[in-house]
């Protein structure tokens, strides 16, 4: 097979470039994986380089497998039937996978045993808990997950326990420093490495043992690194240590798509490549094979506003295509229903299939209105890189609390929340309590308030259960008084300390808190707890049709590397996208948000729709966000749909004196129905589907027909 067949001029040049350092700046959709694969094939077939002399590093096992399969087809597949031997291209894999092999072979030189075990995140947190217990540090005051995150960040920056301790100025850092020391002691005694150690110990091995470094430099005559913009400090040091005097290193990447600084990636590694390797050849892959000219023009206009970037000009031979469309909607519900309606219409007329659409958003919490709208429109969907809104742990936890308030005999829901947040009620204590509660013929809340009468429980467990009972009893009275569900949730999670429980210092803590805020916002639609819980149950039990073609929902981060014929990016508003943290973090954070916008836009092949709402319910409050600055960055490259009038009055004023008994209305959530009762802002509606709901008219998004 001709290795250069099907390559454009720039790709062919990158494949056949002479020895020495090579930087391939590969724009979105420019065929970087194809180019990298063909370059390796060229080295093997045309330059007679042994596969064992080639180190090829990717960032995921999936990417490594894809590259290995492609390479086999290029070089051997035609005569072998396509079967890829297990030992083919033995030094192709992820950084962590490569490091494991190096350490297994030579780690003993730095006292790393060849039979070390590898700790995953769960293992690491378990050892951190043990270390905290040894130090007398309570896990209620300091979350093991937060400690794990801090230790991981330190290791990614190659900061050891002694250095970390020397720079610890605040109580949290000082406690982490103590735990870090103890954790490392216990880890070494266990002859184990965590994932960060795989990189750190490899750095130490190559730095401190020259003969081993030189051994691997002789072995790896050619080094190729994919997604170089995503390398962290330790990975950068490993690469630098393995490059020999010939400097046959080829890195491929796109600084415009660097979106992982929050997990240690430093896009300046790719910006500094020419400084690190003077005389490096730079080849730009600028022909895009994915998107239309209109999409590329808009995306290019956005990224051009960044100051720290390389210079590229993407182009396509596929024509301009449909203009990028901006849709200004009334609120988050209209945004979701508009997206769902446009998708369902296209599917209904046979123009497109559901799996040709993707809806992207900045935070996971935005998915709930989109999920509801797609369910209402009967459009199948699936979520990539996450779970459906009502299946998320924190959402299920809060709903379990509400279920116990509504039905105090619900033992399953109570079992879920008895020790969440942690209050000293272990499995055996819970079992003894439930056994006594059943024998005493009391509902859960009544039993909690009388738990002192129970046998077989420790004083600590009794105290914890009694205190929980007092809280639940108070809120059960509020339910009986008809308090709205949003207020109940807000007050209860504060009373039991649930938000503090979520704030564990992990990268996901913010997402979890935003999910709870979205749940509170959703609850505002309902005037009573019964209707809210009924709807939540229906939402959570709805079939997830993963086996049939379905719309893809995902965050912008999860979308990297993917592509779809039609892409919607929802929530293009200041404070949402770009995220509100830019106001504290400064210009570097804004530039990363802009790169994230570029990544999202370039996922679209044929159509790109950008939506923003004039009003949005967030954290239980209705807010009014300005359109995202990224929309203005696009300039004349986009088409604005008819804009909605700006808000001139309070949101609830729209609904004053609007409805009468007998009116036919449409709800975004439930369809059409008839108003059968009005009680202040609470309107009872009998819907055509047979459901009767009592809704808060201020938030229910009702239209009179």
| Whether the Cβ atoms of residue 55 and residue 224 lie closer than 8 Å to each other | yes
**Digit-coded pLDDT (tens) for 298-325:** 999 999 999 999 999 999 998 999 999 9
Tokens representing residue 46 in the block = 């045309």
**Digit-coded pLDDT (tens) for 214-259:** 999 999 999 999 999 999 999 999 999 999 999 999 999 999 999 9
What is the pLDDT at residue 23?
98
- Flag the least confident range among 68-77, 78-87, 137-146, 430-439: 78-87
Angle at 316 between CA 314 and CA 322, to 5 degrees: 110
Q: How many CA atoms lie within 13 A of 493 on its CB side?
A: 24
What is the pLDDT at residue 694?
87
- Flag the least confident range among 41-55, 192-206, 437-451, 680-694: 680-694
How confident is residue 619, by pLDDT bands cut at 50, 70 and 90? low
pLDDT of residue 566 exceeding 90: yes
Question: d(Cα 375, Cα 259) in Å, to the nearest integer?
Answer: 31
The mean pLDDT of the chain is 90
Tokens representing residue 452 in the block = 């002192």
pLDDT of residue 547 exceeding 80: no
- Backbone dihedral angles phi then psi of residue 144, each to the nearest 5 degrees: -55, -35
What is the pLDDT at residue 64?
87
What is the pLDDT at residue 541?
60
Residue 253: which of 591, 27, 34, 14 has the closest Cα? 27
How confident is residue 262, by pLDDT bands cut at 50, 70 and 90? confident
Q: Which residues are catalytic?
A: 32-33, 226-227, 257, 603
DSSP 228: G
Cα 309 to Cα 112, 256, 542, 586: the distances in Å are 40, 7, 45, 17
Residue 334: which of 702, 695, 668, 670 has the closest Cα? 668
What is the pLDDT at residue 390?
86
DSSP 526: B
| Whether the Cβ atoms of residue 558 and residue 385 lie closer than 8 Å to each other | yes
Question: d(Cα 515, Cα 510) in Å, to the nearest integer?
Answer: 9
pLDDT of residue 18 exceeding 60: yes
| Whether the Cβ atoms of residue 658 and residue 668 lie closer than 8 Å to each other | no
Write the DSSP string, 21-80: -EEEEE-TTS-HHHHHHHHHHHHHHTS---GGGEEEEESSHHHHHHHHHHHHHHHTHHHH
**Digit-coded pLDDT (tens) for 645-693:** 444 334 444 444 578 888 898 886 788 899 998 887 788 999 887 788 8
Report the range out of 408-422, 508-522, 555-569, 661-675 with the highest average pLDDT. Answer: 555-569
How confident is residue 698, by pLDDT bands cut at 50, 70 and 90? confident
Beta-bridge partner residues of 287: 315
pLDDT of residue 370 exceeding 50: yes
Question: d(Cα 651, Cα 89) in Å, to the nearest integer?
Answer: 63
Find tokens 């110990």 and name the residue: 201
- Mean pLDDT for 31-45 is 94
Tokens representing residue 597 in the block = 């916008």
| Whether the Cβ atoms of residue 253 and residue 227 lie closer than 8 Å to each other | yes
Question: d(Cα 176, Cα 148) in Å, to the nearest integer?
Answer: 9
pLDDT of residue 167 exceeding 60: yes
């Amino acid at each position: 097979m001709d290795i250069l067949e099907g390559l454009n001029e720039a790709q062919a040049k990158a494949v056949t470039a002479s020895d020495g350092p090579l930087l391939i700046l590969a724009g979105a959709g420019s065929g970087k994986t194809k180019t990298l694969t063909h370059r390796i094939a060229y080295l093997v077939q045309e330059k007679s380089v042994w596969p064992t002399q080639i180190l090829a590093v990717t960032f995921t096992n999936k990417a490594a497998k894809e590259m290995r399969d492609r390479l086999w087809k290029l070089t051997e597949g035609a005569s072998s039937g396509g079967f890829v031997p297990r030992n083919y291209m033995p030094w192709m894999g992820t950084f962590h996978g490569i490091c494991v092999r190096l350490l297994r072979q030579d780690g003993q030189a730095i006292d790393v045993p060849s039979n070390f075990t590898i700790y995953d995140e769960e293992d690491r947190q378990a050892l951190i808990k043990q270390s905290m217990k040894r130090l007398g540090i309570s896990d209620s005051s300091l979350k093991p997950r937060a400690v794990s995150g801090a230790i991981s960040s330190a290791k990614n920056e190659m900061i050891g326990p002694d250095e970390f301790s020397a720079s610890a100025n605040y109580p949290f850092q000082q406690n982490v420093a103590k735990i870090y020391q103890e954790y490392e002691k216990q880890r070494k005694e266990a002859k184990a490495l965590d994932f960060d150690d795989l990189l750190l110990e490899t750095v130490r091995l190559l730095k401190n043992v020259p003969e081993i470094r030189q051994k691997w430099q002789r072995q790896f005559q050619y080094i190729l690194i994919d997604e170089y913009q995503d390398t962290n400090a330790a990975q950068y040091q490993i690469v630098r240590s393995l490059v020999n005097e010939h400097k046959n290193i080829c890195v491929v990447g796109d600084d415009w798509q660097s979106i992982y600084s929050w997990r240690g990636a430093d896009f300046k590694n790719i910006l500094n490549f020419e400084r690190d390797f003077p005389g490096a050849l730079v080849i730009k892959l600028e022909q895009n094979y994915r998107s239309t000219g209109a999409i590329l023009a808009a995306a290019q206009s956005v990224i051009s506003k960044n100051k720290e970037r390389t210079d590229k000009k993407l182009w396509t031979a596929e024509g301009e295509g449909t203009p990028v469309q901006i849709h200004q909607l009334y609120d988050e519900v209209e945004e979701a229903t508009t997206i769902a309606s446009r998708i369902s219409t296209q599917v209904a007329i046979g123009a497109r299939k559901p799996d040709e659409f993707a809806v992207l958003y900045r935070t996971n919490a935005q998915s709930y209105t989109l999920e509801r709208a797609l369910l209402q429109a009967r459009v199948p969907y699936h979520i990539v890189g996450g779970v459906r809104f009502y299946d998320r742990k924190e959402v299920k936890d809060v709903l379990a609390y509400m279920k116990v308030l509504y039905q105090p005999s619900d033992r399953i829901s109570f079992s879920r929340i008895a020790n969440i947040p942690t209050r000293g009620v272990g499995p055996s204590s819970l079992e003894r309590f439930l056994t006594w509660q059943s024998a005493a013929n009391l509902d859960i809340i009544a039993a909690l308030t009388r738990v002192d009468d129970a046998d077989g429980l420790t004083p600590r467990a009794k105290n914890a259960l009694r205190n929980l009972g007092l809280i639940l009893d108070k809120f059960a009275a509020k339910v009986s008084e008809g308090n709205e569900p949003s207020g109940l949730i807000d007050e209860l999670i504060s009373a039991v300390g649930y938000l503090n429980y979520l704030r564990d210092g992990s990268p996901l803590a913010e997402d979890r808190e935003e999910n709870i805020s979205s749940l509170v916002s959703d609850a505002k639609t309902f005037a009573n707890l019964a209707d809210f819980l009924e709807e939540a149950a229906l939402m959570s039990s709805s079939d997830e049709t993963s086996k049939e073609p379905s719309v893809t929902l995902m965050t912008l981060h999860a979308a990297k590397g993917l592509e779809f014929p039609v892409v919607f990016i929802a929530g293009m508003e200041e404070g949402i996208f770009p995220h509100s943290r830019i106001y504290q973090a400064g210009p570097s954070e804004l530039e990363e948000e802009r790169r994230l916008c570029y990544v999202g836009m370039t996922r679209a092949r044929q159509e790109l729709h950008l939506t923003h709402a004039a009003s949005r319910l967030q954290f239980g409050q209705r807010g009014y966000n300005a359109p995202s600055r990224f929309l203005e960055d696009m300039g004349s490259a986009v088409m604005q749909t008819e804009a909605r009038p700006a808000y001139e009055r309070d949101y609830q004023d729209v609904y004053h004196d609007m409805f009468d008994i007998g009116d036919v209305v449409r709800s975004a959530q439930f369809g059409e129905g008839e108003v059968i009762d009005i009680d202040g802002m609470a309107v009872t509606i009998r819907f055509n589907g047979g459901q009767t709901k009592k809704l808060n008219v201020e938030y229910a998004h009702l239209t009179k027909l």
